[in-house]
Structure 1
Amino acid sequence: MSTPYFFGYGSLVNLATHDYHDPQPARLSGWRRAWVHTGLREVAFLTAVPCGDSTIDGLIAAVPGADWDALDQREFAYDRLPASAEVQHQMDASPEISVYAVPQSAQMPGSDLHPILLSYLDVVVQGYKQVFGAAGVAEFFASTDGWDAPILNDRATPIYPRHQPLEAAQTELVDHHLDAVGAKVVMG
């Protein structure tokens, strides 16, 4: 049996948040990202949503021994869906690839009670900058919906469990793009 891979399009792009093997850039066709809330989590978070003409950049990485347990626990509010046919990558092999997505029936918009955590967004943008550069960060913002949800500024006391330290230039990059999309940042 060959080793399966996952396609990550949010915090999983940031290699500091996991230790899965053989990470490499990839594209997922027929999907966009969106900030959503579900009753299974207190805050809004990213999900992939079907969208015929869209493509999003992300990373694929191996799940050794097909041991999905730890990743399924991390992504507990999501369904793991087959995505091999929708993922373009540079591998010689054609592994089984899955993507995590919140069931559409469980998706609700972010709100004052269920905001986006800035510490989470910082981690995502840090990963996109490292893998795809400044253009990749701009594309992340352009290919993500739900920026009307409030963003809780928790940088001083991060709530996101996999938060990472950011350099001043990284926080400025995030803040610049939040201004560009007209996001409402509220103090924690």
Structure 2
Amino acid sequence: MRDPFFFGYGSLVNAATHNYTSTHPAKLAGWRRVWRHTSMRDLAFLSVEPAEGVQIDGLIAEVPNADWNALDLRETGYFRSQLPKTSLTHQAGPVEVQMYQTHPNQDASPAMQHAILLSYVDVVVQGFHNVFGEDGVEQFFKTTAGWDTPILNDRSNPRYPRSQSLSRTETELVDHHLAALKAQLIST
């Protein structure tokens, strides 16, 4: 039996943030990304939720020897679940795939909104740009809900622990899409 895979739909799409080398682009039907506010921390989590008629791009990657420990630690605040094979398309052949998402029991009250880290958005967009091009970046923004949350501009002093340096093109892509969404950027 082959080692299991994970489906990454956010920062895990950016291969520079991890050392899982056996990766394949993938599409997950019936889900969308959403910014979640939880009781676990004062920053928003990028998660997923079922969404009829929506499909999101992402990356699947093999977890050697089914050793989930390092990934589970990285994804603290999320729970891992098995994905139905029928909802995921990729070129890796028949493999078991799991995905991380926030747990509804951890959701904060609807009145509470935590900021999104711009350094995190930068990493995600860089990953999508590298794997799916500009169209993939556009689809990332279109298939993610919750952009009405303030975005903390921490670019000059990134708070995201796996932040990356962006090219000018990548920075312009992020800024363009956030401006189109009329996202509210706040200073650190």
TM-score (norm 1): 0.94
Cα displacement (A) at 1:38: 1.3
Residues 33 and 47 in structure 1, CA contact (< 8 A), matched pair in contact too: yes
**Distance (Å, rounded) in 1 between the aligned partners of 2:111 and 2:35:** 7
Cα displacement (A) at 1:69: 0.6
4+ residue stretches of structure 1 with deviation over 4 A? 109-112
Residues 27 and 90 in structure 2, CA contact (< 8 A), matched pair in contact too: yes
Q: Which residue of 1 aligns with 2:76?
A: 76
Cα displacement (A) at 1:32: 0.3
How big is each residue's C-alpha offset from its partner over 1:6-35, in whole Å with a ceiling of 9 and x where there is no partner?
A: 000000000100011211100111110001
Cα displacement (A) at 1:105: 3.1
Q: Which residue of 2 aligns with 1:43?
A: 43
Matched residues, number: 186
Q: Which residue of 2 aligns with 1:58?
A: 58
How big is each residue's C-alpha offset from its partner over 1:89-135, in whole Å with a ceiling of 9 and x where there is no partner?
A: 012x31100011112232346966x2000000000000000000000
**Distance (Å, rounded) in 2 between the aligned partners of 1:67 and 1:42:** 29
**Distance (Å, rounded) in 1 between the aligned partners of 2:111 and 2:64:** 34
How big is each residue's C-alpha offset from its partner over 1:17-69, in whole Å with a ceiling of 9 and x where there is no partner?
A: 00112111001111100011212222112101111221100000000000001
Q: Secondary structure, in 3 states, of the residue corresponding to 2:77?
A: coil
Q: Give the 5 Å matches for 1:110-121.
A: 114-121=114-121
Gaps of 5+ in 1: none
**Distance (Å, rounded) in 1 between the aligned partners of 2:105 and 2:20:** 30
Q: Which residue of 2 aligns with 1:144?
A: 144
Structure 1 residue 129 and structure 2 residue 129: aligned? yes
Gaps of 5+ in 2: none
Q: Give the 5 Å matches for 1:1-188.
A: 1-85=1-85, 86-91=87-92, 93-108=93-108, 114-188=114-188
Residues 37 and 110 in structure 1, CA contact (< 8 A), matched pair in contact too: no
Letter in 2 for 1:18: H
Residues 110 and 146 in structure 1, CA contact (< 8 A), matched pair in contact too: no
TM-score (norm 2): 0.94
**Distance (Å, rounded) in 2 between the aligned partners of 1:21 and 1:81:** 21
**Distance (Å, rounded) in 1 between the aligned partners of 2:95 and 2:78:** 21
**Distance (Å, rounded) in 1 between the aligned partners of 2:10 and 2:172:** 19
CA RMSD of aligned residues (A): 1.4
Cα displacement (A) at 1:151: 0.1
Q: Secondary structure, in 3 states, of the residue corresponding to 1:39?
A: coil
Residues 4 and 64 in structure 1, CA contact (< 8 A), matched pair in contact too: yes
**Distance (Å, rounded) in 1 between the aligned partners of 2:29 and 2:149:** 25
**Distance (Å, rounded) in 1 between the aligned partners of 2:47 and 2:53:** 17
